[in-house]
Amino acid sequence: MTRKQKRLSVIFGALAFLGAATSLTFYALGQKASYFYLPNELQAANLQPGQRIRLGGLIEKGTIVRGQGTDVAFGVTNAGSSVKVFYTGILPDLFREEQGVITEGSFEPDGTFKADSVLAKHDENYMPRELADSLKDKGVWQETTQ
């Protein structure tokens, strides 16, 4: 190979690598990014069972039911809609009734929501931003007084 051919092959190799990395990135963004929904948006969203989403809202009062071991079920609510969420594991420290929560998981074929992670507020001033924004829009949010 001449020097020119060599240089070209190196450049093409690098470009092929970058191309592969780019397409993989876009594929992954399409497949692995999960959208955020509030309970009252689910009807319109028309989700398939198994599709990963984040579901946020307030923990409905009087709906936390503890089952066997670490099984737990609770309602997530906003603007009059409510979804029952099933979860197995230890709940975050700040998991309380009528507090904001974000769960991540997917709907089962029978229509129940099975979460594999539950996030609550980090501290009194902190709420996952997408949740705080949505609740503010809907007028449910109350600023914590300092």
Smallest separation (angstroms) from another protein to the CB of 9: 8
| Options 2-10, 75-83, 107-115: segment touching another protein (CB under 8 A) | 2-10
Q: Which is nearer to another protein, 36 or 82 (CB)?
A: 36
129, burial (CB in 10 Å: exposed 0-12, middle 13-18, buried 19+): exposed
Determine if 17 is a binding residue for another protein (CB under 8 A): yes
Residue 92: which H helix or E strand, with range?
A: none
Q: Which long-range contacts (CB under 8 A, 24 or more apart) does 85-92 make?
A: 85/55, 85/113, 85/114, 85/115, 86/112, 86/113, 86/114, 86/115, 87/114, 87/115, 87/116, 87/118, 89/118, 91/118, 91/120, 92/118, 92/119, 92/120
Tokens 């190979």, located at residue: 1
Q: Which is nearer to another protein, 75 or 128 (CB)?
A: 128
Determine if 90 is a binding residue for another protein (CB under 8 A): yes
Q: Which is nearer to another protein, 2 or 125 (CB)?
A: 125
Taking CB under 8 A as the criterion, which residues in 124-143 touch another protein?
124-130, 132-134
Sort residue 127 into left (φ over 0), alpha (ψ -120 to 50) or beta: beta
Determine if 110 is a binding residue for another protein (CB under 8 A): no
> Which one of 36, 40, 114, 141 is in contact with another protein (CB under 8 A)?
36
Footprint of another protein (CB under 8 A): 6, 9-10, 14, 17-18, 21, 24-25, 28-29, 31-36, 54, 66, 69-70, 88-91, 93-94, 104, 122-130, 132-134, 146
